[in-house]
Structure 1
Amino acid sequence: MRKLFILLIVFAVLFPVFSQEVTAVLEYFDDPAELEITDADGFTVEGIYFGMPISEGETIKTYNSSAELSLDPNGTIIKLAPNTTFSVTTLQKEDGQENSFNIAQGKMRAVAAKVKKGGYRISTPTAVCGVRGTDFGINVVPGQEESLFVREGLVAFSKGGEEIEVGAGQIANALAETFSAVQMSAEQLSQLYSDLDFNVLNPDDVPQAEPAKDEAENNKTEDTSAADTGDMGQQTTANKEETGGAEPQEAAQENPFMEWLRNAVGLEVGSVTIDGQTYSKAILQPVIALGKFKASLYLPIIYTRDMFDLNDWYRPKGNNEWSFGSDYDWGKEPVNGLADFFADLALKIRYIEYGKQRDPFFFKVGNIEGVTTGHGILMNNYTNNTEFPAVRRVGLNLGIDSGKVGTELILNDLAEPEIFGGRLYVRPAAPTFKAAIGLTAIADIDPAGDISSDTTDPVSKAALETDPIFLNLALDLDIPAFETELASLIFFSDVGGMLPFIRNSYGGIQAGFSTSSLVYQKSSTEAELRNYGFTAGLFGNIAIMTYRLEYRYFTGTFKNGFYGPDYERKRAEYAKELVSYLMDSSNPDFHNTTMGIYGNAGFNIADKVTFNAGYFWPWALDSNGNVLTSDEDELNMGLILEKGLVPVPRLEDISAAFYYTRTHFIPTILQKGDFKGTGLFDANTVFRGEIIWAAAPTLDIVTIVTTNIIRNSDGSIAYDDNGAPKWAPSISIESRVHF
């Protein structure tokens, strides 16, 4: 009896200590084959399972899988994105001890519980950060970036004895030249969190109870060598001594309505030049963000003189986008009225998206940019908004990837669908060997639709009358040699061609599938393939540099990257070229073979400067096998400059982005042949430049310059006397209000 009594007394004394011991638990992961856990000695831990405890000294490496951890009993939860290395350094065993963690590379999110006792610390290679009851994320790119971004609360971020405070909606990079907190837009913060949503753990379940006031006062008198109570990665002992033990102040609570307004409503006010005419504009852009789901509307008023006169408003492609079918007689034309209603409704969508490319599931509705299928032999960097805002399209891009099988779909415009594409691919030996085989099919059902109905040009007339459909098919093969954190090398090859369908017979061109465009009959006994192409090459990265090198070969009217960034403005020219070939397939001009080398390289420096450039150097063989110079070259460049690049007042608040793609680049420089008298900015150029000055936390002043095609009142493309599309720069100066 005495022994039992003694045991009860010992248990009563030790229970508070035992109850404070913290355990890390692996609650969720996508794929155990894409997860590696090593112990303190570097040995691999076998048998990964849900609910598995993670011990001190153990390291989790996520490859193509995310992971979620919880800390029991305090309730803090942690999300690890793919390609992250995260270690549990120490776990609290009694009051005053720290829970410490380390992220060597990758991306994570922590929703930290507000607890009365126990310290926390998360370290990057050069810095320490932490909070109390805060939702924040960390992104580490070794040698380039160690960023802390905060959704709620206030974070102490320190390196080398220097400490700053990062509040809600701010970001700081420990490797930047200036170690300071920078305000983000709601869209930037949403993008940073886009791959950090929890699958099974719920941030709403994380305890947020404040420490009792008397206990908090008592804690202030505790030994400063102990970790600060309730602090997720608070200052180290050395830092506390330097700062006199001062603790960061909690962020002031923002008015809930103003917080919602700031995150949910965007407003653009300014001017824009379209087709040589200057308009005023006021555009409301409400935003909804729920985890991986994000949506925004585009509600524009673009007018010349009187914003209250509906007849004075700009009409994209001649369409009154605010009529919602009311400009039709629904009794006589119900189908046209209904179609116009949904078309106008679709134009009010800026974007609707879930996830991002390479996620197991993603989709985006709205502006579609930089879509490449396979390795680009059919669709390479396709964009449906090259003429925005003069012409607005609401496209669709959707993808599903189960690991061994995947598919991707593309549609150029929900309001006026004309370009459809899809790719199906398999990885037979995944995940051991990630080689992939893909099949791509893309169709344009109305490439001649941009030709004016009153054209007098015979080839244009033939294209309108035959009304062709482009049908393109391609196979692609992808073989990774190696993929590591510092370098990767992937070999690839694509082959593709076009088999058009002719709707109407006209001028000797027969209706139906035009096999003659793919197989040229040289004689009654001899035939050869025409209008096809193939590519082979390699791509990958070396540290901060990406690279791509490939050999291209294509014949006749086929072009590598047929559906490229300038396709929407060139599709009518391609339709005329196809008709010209079908009218006279024996013409030697259509029997040339073009080949060449394409090279591309890019780099990113400290997430402040991103540059990318590529060039295709072509040459040609004529029907007699003679080597000729080719005018089918292509140059593309991109430059992004982030805020804070120039550490000078006012200039540090400026960011910019420039994109330039130009076909027939060298012939234009040399003023050669058909390109004599042309400039570097014309219908063969896709250019977009954007300069943003953050004049205030809630106000950006933006200048945007683009090259746009001029269109007739019926929406068709206007051509000059040489048959080239007319073009004009579009200049927009606007104020973006974030509230």
Structure 2
Amino acid sequence: MGMRWSWVVVLFMSAVLLFAETAKVRYMIGEVRVKRAGQQGNWEALTLQTDLQEKDVVRTGPEAYCEIELPDGSVVKVLQNSMMELRNFPKAQNEKEEIFTSLGKFFFMVKKALQRKFVVSTPVAVAAIRGTEFMLVTQGKQTKLLVREGLVEFGDLQGVNRVQVASGQKSLLQFGSPPEPPSALSEAEKKALDKIAGEQKGIKKKTPKKKMKQTPAPAPSGNIEKTPPPPPKPAPEAKPPQEEKPQPRSMKKGGGVNTGVSIGAVTIDGKLYNQIGLRPEFSIGKLGVALDLSLYIDDQGNIRKENWDSARDIFEKIYYVRWGHHGDPLYVKVGAVDNYRLGFGILMNHYSNTVEYPNVIRTGLEFGLQGDRMGFDAMINNFSELTNGGGLLAGRFTYRALGKLTLGASVVYDRNQYKTLKDRDGDGVPDYLDPFPDDKNYAIDSDGDGIPDEDDPDRDGNGFTDNAEWLINHGYDSTYINDDAYKADPENWALTHLKPEPFNINKAKDKAQFALALDASYPIVNMKYLQLTTYAQWANFPYNNGWGITAPGFWAKFAFINAYAEYRIFSKHFLPEYFNTTYELERAVFRTSDTLGVIEPVSKRKLLDNVNEQLKGFVVGADFNLFNFLIFGAEYQNMSKSNLRIRTFRSTLDLNTSFIPKINRAGAYYYQNNARELFKKTEGTILGYRIEYEISPGASLLVDFRQTYRDLNGDGKISGPGETVKTTNIQTVIRF
């Protein structure tokens, strides 16, 4: 019986893989990104032969270009600074195929079909086609149509005002007005359309040896005097920007290799290093591989050995190995875990294992299976930690039960939260508390003279011998002890003069954390230009006896604007989004013991006990596109009861650098999670910025700054030396 069901599962997954309607990336240059269906603000780098699903959104950056083959064989050319949504793939011959172009320039080569209708929508217009070649220019409240071949029905969204635009004609539609009567294309426009049509990759031309130039296809001239401003880069989630991933520049069909070289300086553990990095990436179909081969050289010319002295370090040179993409029937990625989320985020939201990169390099796993009604996702934060008694593991199962009602269950388990603390020699004592962090045989130096207590005849540093064991091991008689206090009461003397046994990560109590969550969601409105989903969540921390409820919650999407709002109720010992962007910084922190007055690590699980009130409140958030110049994203949570307030604030700002000469990207972020006092420095706070200046085509200067905090002296304040951690990366990036 078990074997038979195994074959059923295999056949089911094979059918999903074979018959799923997908679009293919045929050719691309420059920076092209995709936002997967249902993902909020999470943009991934697009690679050649990427499978694109229904509702995916594709955008191109400056000097970028992409060709996409749709399921019916039609081709869309996405020119620079453009964005479109693959709105509908037909499931039957008589269904329509629809593309939504929000901003930019697009050239369509539509395959003829007897029954199927091909529709292109914009914020103000609709074009219906059955086999033709045409171009759309979408800019704000107007859309321009230029037809090279065939016939296009062009009109407003209501379908009230329409015109028939034939070969060699054009029309313009502005919001609130009917489309202009068709008029003839200028000679310059005809030539430009012919050039774009002729540069389609994959079509054999009469001169097959001629190679396409590595520049984006030009736009028609004539009446289109100005290139429409590009869409602003979507606001990233409230997280630190990750190490620059290599972007495809030019690849041949079926796969390719591209490489980036960086030369600059970076701060690691408070020390400045020169950096030389080689970042090759290649893709073959669904397989993608990216390496991070970086050398960090100090002012003496020595290579930082911590990055190359073990087999684990060699394994960490893999930035990622990927098969497919999130949302595909099968998705596997080994390497960097970025912006990971479970369900609607009440347990895990925006988690990243690269928050301390390059100080700490973690190699994790993302895994996903997606069927027609069921789905499964899993995540591991760090393989090295998993094999050393730790590891953060997360999983989620979803099931579409009745109609559009979707149910989900999530589980997160952290085997040892203290494993986030550095322990170079592996003796279990965190480096910050270990006077001998590179020698696993020693961990105590009571008088601070640099000699371990085991080898120190005078352990308290008062000038008298007090170590009988040391005397015996070195051939002396114990009568040489001349410390009167020690001789009077050795046990009491040890308690008052020697440091206690140090904290050991592996023997600690309250080191594990376990959490589970259930959720349900239902789409209330699912229209072309408006989507509204309601949802509810419940989560529980069994070790802390804490629970939280979100009901109701609403998520809305209008065009490319996302907004959400939730009402929340929490019991004692519960915090939302517990596993978040700064989780690796908060898993274990240092606090001063009330009884002994010594600094000891405390797990995030134990700190939940300090939340001793039942809380009620709300969270709201949205991404705003302001005048097509910048995108501002923000989230605010306010939970309170009596004198206790728990608040979260996230803010991101990205500029549309097309308006700024020589600037390839510019953005900043601030993130503070579950703080009792907003904008006060805490270990749950992270801020930074990134700016990239173009030196020449293919070369740019990148400045990447990130600031985090560690309360090393355990006084509950961020003020001591080394407690503000600044990571600055300045490098010249060359892509070829």
In the superposition, relative to structure 1, how do residues 480 and 48 fare at CA in structure 2: closer, same or farther (>3 Å)?
closer
Superposition map of 1:104-143 within 5 A:
129=193, 130-135=196-201
Q: Distance in 1 between matches of 2:170 and 2:394?
A: 45
1:475 aligns with 2:518: yes
Q: Deviations over 1:143-164 (max 9, x none)?
A: xxxxxxx996873422662379
Q: Deviations over 1:628-676 (max 9, x none)?
A: 241x211111112232133xx44xx34212221013667255xxxxxxx
Q: Distance in 2 between matches of 1:457 and 1:370?
A: 41
Asked if structure 1 preserves the Cα contact closer than 8 Å seen for 2:417 and 2:588, the reply is yes
Q: C-alpha root-mean-square deviation of aligned residues, in Å?
A: 4.8
Q: Deviations over 1:165-223 (max 9, x none)?
A: xxxxxxxx645499xxxxxx9955579x9xxxxxxxx978xxxxxxxxxxxxxxxxxxx
Superposition map of 1:84-163 within 5 A:
87-90=128-131, 98-99=149-150, 129=193, 130-135=196-201, 155-158=217-220, 161-162=223-224
2:362 paired residue number: 393
Superposition map of 1:238-249 within 5 A:
none
Q: Select the residue among 576, 597, 613 that pairs with 2:602.
A: 576
1:554 aligns with 2:570: yes
1:535 aligns with 2:545: no
2:392 paired residue number: 419
Asked if structure 2 preserves the Cα contact closer than 8 Å seen for 1:100 and 1:120, the reply is no
TM superposition shift of 1:364: 2.8
Superposition map of 1:432-581 within 5 A:
433-450=403-420, 452-453=429-430, 454=433, 464-466=507-509, 468-500=511-543, 517-518=544-545, 531-536=546-551, 537-573=553-589, 576=602
Specify every segment of 5 or more residues in structure 1 that has no aligned partner in the other structure, as ranges: 1-26, 38-45, 106-118, 138-149, 165-172, 179-184, 194-201, 205-258, 325-340, 501-516, 519-530, 621-626, 670-678, 711-716
Asked if structure 1 preserves the Cα contact closer than 8 Å seen for 2:111 and 2:131, the reply is no
Q: Residue 541 of structure 1 aligns to which amino acid in structure 2?
A: K
Q: Distance in 1 between matches of 2:620 and 2:327?
A: 24
2:702 paired residue number: 702
| SS of structure 2 residue aligned to 1:264 | strand
Greater relative contact order: 1 or 2 (C-alpha under 8 angstroms, separation 6 or more)?
2
In the superposition, relative to structure 1, how do residues 91 and 499 fare at CA in structure 2: closer, same or farther (>3 Å)?
closer
Q: Distance in 1 between matches of 2:633 and 2:110?
A: 41
Q: Residue 419 of structure 1 aligns to which amino acid in structure 2?
A: L
In the superposition, relative to structure 1, how do residues 695 and 323 fare at CA in structure 2: closer, same or farther (>3 Å)?
same
Q: Distance in 1 between matches of 2:354 and 2:542?
A: 27
Q: Distance in 2 between matches of 1:28 and 1:135?
A: 25
Q: Deviations over 1:90-137 (max 9, x none)?
A: 559xxx9934679999xxxxxxxxxxxxx9999998999532142399
TM superposition shift of 1:402: 1.3
| SS of structure 2 residue aligned to 1:569 | helix
Asked if structure 2 preserves the Cα contact closer than 8 Å seen for 1:556 and 1:592, the reply is yes
| SS of structure 2 residue aligned to 1:448 | helix
Asked if structure 2 preserves the Cα contact closer than 8 Å seen for 1:62 and 1:85, the reply is no
Asked if structure 1 preserves the Cα contact closer than 8 Å seen for 2:90 and 2:96, the reply is no
Q: Distance in 2 between matches of 1:271 and 1:186?
A: 17
TM superposition shift of 1:48: 5.9
2:293 paired residue number: 299
| SS of structure 1 residue aligned to 2:395 | strand
Q: Residue 421 of structure 1 aligns to which amino acid in structure 2?
A: A
Q: Distance in 2 between matches of 1:369 and 1:408?
A: 14
1:108 paired residue number: none
| SS of structure 2 residue aligned to 1:610 | strand
| SS of structure 2 residue aligned to 1:562 | coil
Q: Distance in 2 between matches of 1:345 and 1:440?
A: 33
| SS of structure 2 residue aligned to 1:732 | strand
1:249 paired residue number: none
| SS of structure 2 residue aligned to 1:561 | coil
TM superposition shift of 1:723: 7.6
Asked if structure 2 preserves the Cα contact closer than 8 Å seen for 1:344 and 1:415, the reply is no
Asked if structure 2 preserves the Cα contact closer than 8 Å seen for 1:701 and 1:736, the reply is yes
With 717-726 and 415-424 compared, the bigger mean Cα shift is at: 717-726
TM superposition shift of 1:728: 1.5
Superposition map of 1:640-655 within 5 A:
640-646=654-660, 649-650=661-662, 653-655=663-665
| SS of structure 1 residue aligned to 2:585 | helix
In the superposition, relative to structure 1, how do residues 602 and 72 fare at CA in structure 2: closer, same or farther (>3 Å)?
closer
Asked if structure 2 preserves the Cα contact closer than 8 Å seen for 1:131 and 1:153, the reply is no
1:378 paired residue number: 347
Asked if structure 2 preserves the Cα contact closer than 8 Å seen for 1:459 and 1:576, the reply is no
Q: Select the residue among 306, 322, 326 that pairs with 2:308.
A: 322
TM superposition shift of 1:444: 0.6
Superposition map of 1:184-223 within 5 A:
none
Q: Distance in 2 between matches of 1:495 and 1:376?
A: 11
Q: Distance in 2 between matches of 1:154 and 1:610?
A: 25
Q: Residue 532 of structure 1 aligns to which amino acid in structure 2?
A: W
TM superposition shift of 1:487: 1.7
2:21 paired residue number: 30
TM-score (norm 1): 0.57
1:633 paired residue number: 647
1:735 paired residue number: 732
Q: Select the residue among 571, 576, 598 that pairs with 2:619.
A: 598
1:345 aligns with 2:314: yes
In the superposition, relative to structure 1, how do residues 102 and 357 fare at CA in structure 2: closer, same or farther (>3 Å)?
farther
Q: Distance in 2 between matches of 1:188 and 1:124?
A: 35
Q: Residue 437 of structure 1 aligns to which amino acid in structure 2?
A: L
TM superposition shift of 1:359: 3.4
Q: Distance in 2 between matches of 1:136 and 1:122?
A: 27
Q: Distance in 2 between matches of 1:561 and 1:493?
A: 15
Q: Distance in 2 between matches of 1:722 and 1:478?
A: 40
1:279 aligns with 2:345: no
1:182 paired residue number: none
Q: Distance in 1 between matches of 2:132 and 2:573?
A: 66
Asked if structure 1 preserves the Cα contact closer than 8 Å seen for 2:96 and 2:119, the reply is no
TM superposition shift of 1:306: 3.7
Q: Residue 347 of structure 1 aligns to which amino acid in structure 2?
A: E
In the superposition, relative to structure 1, how do residues 28 and 305 fare at CA in structure 2: closer, same or farther (>3 Å)?
same
TM superposition shift of 1:462: 9.5
With 554-563 and 419-428 compared, the bigger mean Cα shift is at: 554-563
2:689 paired residue number: 689
1:510 paired residue number: none
Q: Distance in 2 between matches of 1:390 and 1:124?
A: 54
Q: Deviations over 1:403-455 (max 9, x none)?
A: 310111111123323111010000123xxx32210010111111022454548
TM superposition shift of 1:62: 7.1
In the superposition, relative to structure 1, how do residues 735 and 405 fare at CA in structure 2: closer, same or farther (>3 Å)?
same
